[in-house]
Amino acid sequence: MVDPMGAGLVAIASAIAVGATGIAAAMGEQMIGSAAIGVMAEDEGFFGKGLVMTVIPESIVIFGLVVALILLFVTLPALG
Amino acid sequence: MFEPQPMRKVIIAGSKDYMKIAIDAMHKHDVVHITDFVDEDEDFKIGKPHESITKLSERAVSLRSLASYLSIKGKVDIPNKYPEGAIIDTIDAKTEQLDVEVTQVTDKISEIDSKIKDINDKKRLLEPLKNFDLPLELYTGYQSLAVFVGTLKNSPIISDITDDYELETAPYGRGRTISLFVPREFEGETLKRLQEQGYAALPLPKMEGVPKEILVNLEAQLAELQSEKQKCEGDLVDLRKKHIEYILASDEYLSIETQKAEAPLRFATTKNAFIVEGWIPTKDLGLIQSDLDRATNGHVVVSVDSSEAVDVEKVPIALKNPLPSKPLEVLVRAFSLPKYNEIDPTKLMTFMYPALFGLMLGDVGYGLLVIALGLLVSRVIKSQGMRDLAKIGVYAGVFSVIFGFIFNEFFGVEPFGHRGYLTFIEYPTVTRLDNVLTLLIVTLVIGLLMLTLGYVLGFINEYRQHGLKHAVFAKVSWLMMLWGGTIAVALVLPAMSSGTGIQLSLGLIAGLVLLVVGFIFMFMGEGAIGIAELPSLLSNVLSYTRLLSIGVSSMGIALAVNKLSDALFFSKGGIFVIFGVLLLIAGHAINTVLGILDSGLQALRLHYVEFFTKFYSGGGMKYIPFGFERKYTEEK
């Protein structure tokens, strides 16, 4: 039987991992995105490059997601 | 095998008398990439455009104005190509005649338009008066009477000024229109009263008759004009249908002729000769040499510049890939064209990009949807770039289906096996939620392998461009650190997490030696700046974990959609089933779009940011041959 308190803490930890990194990624994407829109106003052809540039900070939230996955699927079963 | 099209630098030179013939021949073959001549000096001048250029531009202007009247815009599919010979002789006369025909109609249309506007103006003036039966001419021309026609919020009260008045009112908009006749001596006082109540005078149209009747009359005129205009517009459509092929073909013909007439602006010329510097794909060299020779009777020579010191930056790049890899070129071009002596990664991406995409999406249902969408777009859309992307989508969809079978996913549910719907089909599957740790390690291994490939390709590029020593310091060093670090971490991490002490095994020593030697090489090659780059090695490998996490999150959304529609609607039965189906469709549609966008962009990012940076710098110049891709005309 998994300790409910421990399981809850693990769930909260994974939520923080995704949530906080999500905010961080959003802050990065916001800056890059607005710059990319600015460039696109000058040159429409930048759309593809701008899109790729904009998703670069997404790494942060993906690392958060990986941490959450490990917490939920590796750490949590190990508790019980 | 992985290089761009081989190119040869050529000098095409000859007598100016044969310049036009040479230009025609070069244009026809569409293979010579001309390097613009810019350094004028006393002997060599930039050539002058052919004298026909003025005439050509005049024709082009009148033709394009015709095209815009007939709303002919580029990219129209026409079944038959127009023979060029039929244009050359008749273009002037025919364009002029067409101009007359079209102008007749357009002039008539603008005349009708101005009449319609006139009538509408009158209608606007008459509209407020339509409820008064007094003919218009009776509102003016009195000596003893003052007339007020206008709008007001309410009926005015002027009985305290005089009893001797005639007032008619009618509702109009939110207020009323009035016509008020008073003796001239009360004019000032009445006006003041009216203005206090928000009176605004209406301009009286200079017409005769009862407003209501005039309006009916005007309406009839308007209908007639409108039908006349419709007829004219029909005429324009007929003209368009009749002449579209000719107009598109002549426009193309004029563009081609203009291009040819302007070509000398890119040549170096002396008093009697012209010289063109350019690049030709090696495979086309023989053909153009013999053809120019024949066309000009040997008066123009194509000579190959075989000097060794070719500046690779200046060679134009034409990618050379087999047909299945062609669509992927769009992704390479979007990053940057390779330099002439650089490896073109298109062929590698043909497999790797769809594989990474499929690994992320990894769902039979979504995969089939992506394939269907890809096939649809590549049939329907005309833009070449979109078609290429759609074809890549088909490849990616195929891999998604394959991984979907491995992960046992169909729109987020397990289709096969004892937990699934089709229990009779049972095969070893790797469900993502049950194998997070294993799959995480698999993604890291994929990352390791891709980075290794990147460094190997980088080694080849560096070796070609700067020699062996540089290649070892710049690429082998990183490769050693990558694998040394991996071995060390793989041995130390399990020992640390399980609590047993770290054993100094042979493998660990080998890993650490690799790490240290690699570091020394790197330091010798790149100096202290290299140290700043070190953390990126770790983050590059970890970056590949997105292959799992993107997939799991897309699966999570699918799961949520299924669970929600089940709990909210399907479990209740009856009419709710319809809502359940709607929710399923909407949810999975959104998730498909998200899945395509996210998997597509993240797979691209893994190539651009993690993979390409190990070997690819790009910066090649696009190969633009002198010629024209004919769509509407046939060569004579």
The amino acid occupying position B612 is F
- The structural domains of chain B, with segments of one domain joined by +, span 125-217, 343-431+545-616, 436-539
Q: Which position has the higher pLDDT, A47 or B589?
A: B589
- The structural domains of chain A, with segments of one domain joined by +, span 24-79
Chain A nearest CA to B598, separation (Å): 9
The secondary structure of B597-633 as a DSSP string is: HHHHHHHHHIIIIIIGGGT----PEE---SS---SSE
Q: Do the chains contact at A58 and B608, CB–CB below 8 Å?
A: no
**Residue B621 pairs with which residues in a beta bridge?**
B316
Per-residue pLDDT band at B308 (split at 50, 70, 90):
low
pLDDT in tens, B211-256: 888 999 999 999 999 999 999 999 988 888 888 888 888 888 888 9
Q: Which position has the higher pLDDT, A6 or A23?
A: A23
Q: Do the chains contact at A65 and B608, CB–CB below 8 Å?
A: no
Chain B nearest CA to A62, separation (Å): 6
B609 CB neighbours in chain A (<8 A) are 56
Instruction: Provide the pLDDT for residue A28.
Output: 92
Instruction: Provide the pLDDT for residue B439.
Output: 93
Mean pLDDT score, B265-292: 90
Beta strand B200-201 with B145-152 is antiparallel
Instruction: Provide the pLDDT for residue B636.
Output: 63
Q: Do the chains contact at B334 and A59, CB–CB below 8 Å?
A: no
Whether B401 shows a pLDDT value over 90: the answer reads yes
Least confident of A43-57, B338-352, B540-554, B606-620: A43-57
Instruction: Provide the pLDDT for residue B75.
Output: 67
Instruction: Provide the pLDDT for residue B515.
Output: 92
Chain centroid to CA B370: how far? 20
Instruction: Provide the pLDDT for residue B527.
Output: 83
Q: Which of residues 546-585 of B touch A (CB under 8 A)?
A: 546, 548-550, 552-553
Mutate to test the interface with B, among A59, A63, A74 (most CBs of B within 10 A): A59
Count H helices and E strands in chain A, helices first.
4, 0
Chain B nearest CA to A59, separation (Å): 7
* Closest chain A residue to the Cα of B386, Cα to Cα: A48
Distance CA B334, CA B230 (A): 47
Q: Which of A52, A55, A62 sits opposite B545 (nearest CB)?
A: A62
Distance CA B432, CA B437 (A): 9
Whether B629 shows a pLDDT value over 90: the answer reads no
The secondary structure of B517-580 as a DSSP string is: HHHHHHHHHHTTHHHHHHHHHHHHHHHTTHHHHHHHHHHHHHHHHHHHHHHHTGGG-TTHHHHH
Q: Do the chains contact at A55 and B437, CB–CB below 8 Å?
A: no
Tokens representing B448 are 């390791």
Q: Do the chains contact at B545 and A66, CB–CB below 8 Å?
A: yes
Mean pLDDT of all residues belonging to chain B = 88
Mean pLDDT score, B572-593: 91
Q: Do the chains contact at B548 and A66, CB–CB below 8 Å?
A: yes
* Closest chain B residue to the Cα of A60, Cα to Cα: B543
In terms of phi and psi (left: phi > 0; alpha: psi -120 to 50; beta: otherwise), the region of B209 is: left
Per-residue pLDDT band at B309 (split at 50, 70, 90):
low
**What percent of chain B has pLDDT above 90?**
36
Distance CA B312, CA B7 (A): 11
- In B145-211, the DSSP E strands lie at 145-152, 166-172, 175-183, 200-201
Instruction: Provide the pLDDT for residue B346.
Output: 94
Beta strand B633-634 with B82-83 is parallel
Residue B613, chain A, CB below 8 Å: the answer is no
Q: Do the chains contact at B542 and A63, CB–CB below 8 Å?
A: yes
Q: Do the chains contact at A66 and B602, CB–CB below 8 Å?
A: no
The amino acid occupying position B614 is K
Long-range contacts of A45-54 (CB under 8 A, 24+ apart): A48/B334, A49/B334, A51/B601, A52/B334, A52/B601, A52/B604, A52/B605, A52/B608, A54/A29
To the nearest 10°, report the CA torsion of B287, B290, B296, B302: 80
Q: Which helix (H) or strand (E) holds B28?
A: helix B19-29
Distance CA B75, CA B631 (A): 9
pLDDT in tens, B58-85: 888 888 888 888 888 766 777 777 787 7
pLDDT in tens, B10-58: 999 999 889 989 998 899 888 999 989 888 888 888 888 888 888 888 8
Kindly provide the ipTM of the predicted complex, given to two decimals: 0.84
Size of interface A-B (CB pairs under 8 A): 49
Whether B528 shows a pLDDT value over 90: the answer reads no
Chain A nearest CA to B526, separation (Å): 26
Residue with tokens 């500046």: B311
A55 CB neighbours in chain B (<8 A) are 601-602, 605
Q: Which of A49, A56, A65 sits opposite B549 (nearest CB)?
A: A65
Instruction: Provide the pLDDT for residue B172.
Output: 83
Instruction: Provide the pLDDT for residue B357.
Output: 96
Strand, helix or coil at B178?
strand
Instruction: Provide the pLDDT for residue B371.
Output: 96
Mean pLDDT score, B589-598: 93
pLDDT in tens, B120-154: 998 888 888 888 888 888 888 888 888 988 888 88
- Please state, in angstroms and as integers, the Cα–Cα distance from residue B163 to each residue in B180, B350, B570, B574, following that order: 12, 96, 80, 76
Beta strand B316-317 with B621-622 is parallel
Closest CA to B452 of B541, B529, B520, B524: B541
Instruction: Provide the pLDDT for residue B325.
Output: 92
Distance CA A79, CA A70 (A): 13
Whether B554 shows a pLDDT value over 70: the answer reads yes
Distance CA B525, CA B421 (A): 59
Is B511 within 8 Å of B488 (Cβ atoms)?
Answer: yes
**Residue B145 pairs with which residues in a beta bridge?**
B183
Instruction: Provide the pLDDT for residue B156.
Output: 80
Whether B488 shows a pLDDT value over 70: the answer reads yes
Q: Do the chains contact at A70 and B543, CB–CB below 8 Å?
A: no
pLDDT in tens, B410-467: 998 888 887 878 878 888 888 888 888 899 999 999 999 999 999 999 999 999 888 8
Chain A nearest CA to B541, separation (Å): 12
Q: Do the chains contact at A70 and B436, CB–CB below 8 Å?
A: yes
Residue B201, chain A, CB below 8 Å: the answer is no
Q: Which CATH architecture has domain B125-217?
A: 2-Layer Sandwich (3.30)
